[in-house]
Amino acid sequence: MNFLEIMLGEKLKEADPALDVTHSDRKVLQVACQDFTNYLKYHWNLIGKEASQCELVEKLEKLFKEDSVELEDFLTVWTGVWLKKWKERVKLLIGKQNANKWSKVSKNIRKAQPLWKKLERKKEVQEVVVATLIRNGEICGTEILSENLLKMALVEKRVQNLKGKERILTVVNNTLRKARGMAQSKGPLIFVKIDKGYYGATHR
């Protein structure tokens, strides 16, 4: 675990002592780290830059060395807001709960996988969607939501007949419009399907 994971893990546990970020709730920490990284990239104008990850690490390390108290205070506030969003946005599907609704979405996402693999400038396109989500107040699950929104746009019938740049442009425009609407909506957006036995064994 790097220092950011350690700090975020501590803040998550402070905000919700029931979380076990090193074991059963490890995924919560992983998503939080990705979301915090995306949040910083957006606010430090690193979206779309080739060396953004290296620059981000350098800036974080500098902030940690020069003013660790400020970083810690900011993390406390950010984690509280993020966790509230997590509880609003993520819904656990136990057994066959909401099976029909979930299967339709997951079917479309699976259908889009071959097209997703072939999509040009994938990382750059996804970062544009992430930035739109954050700009509109969505800070939870930005990586997951941006990828799924793009995949859903790829399988739309009107997109199927388009080629090259026209297809990418249409997909991006459609996705950005949906991302803006999604960020302003209420309720769950990320559905996690888990086995009943797993839930009983790992959650009290």
Q: pLDDT digits over 149-163, tens only?
A: 999 999 887 787 777
Tokens 């036995």: give the residue.
197
Q: Which residues contact 78 (CB under 8 A, 6 or more apart)?
A: 36, 39, 139
CA dist., res. 145 & res. 107, Å (int) = 16
Q: Express as a percent the part of the chain with pLDDT over 70.
A: 88
Confidence of residue 62 (pLDDT cuts 50, 70, 90): very high
pTM for this predicted structure: 0.87
In terms of Cα–Cα distance, which of 131, 142, 139 is closest to 77?
A: 139
- Does residue 49 or residue 79 have the better pLDDT? 79
CA dist., res. 137 & res. 61, Å (int) = 26
- Helices within 1-141 (DSSP H only): 3-15, 26-43, 52-66, 68-89, 99-118, 122-135
Three-state DSSP state, 105: helix
- Does residue 61 or residue 95 have the better pLDDT? 61
Tokens of 4: 């950011």
Confidence of residue 84 (pLDDT cuts 50, 70, 90): very high
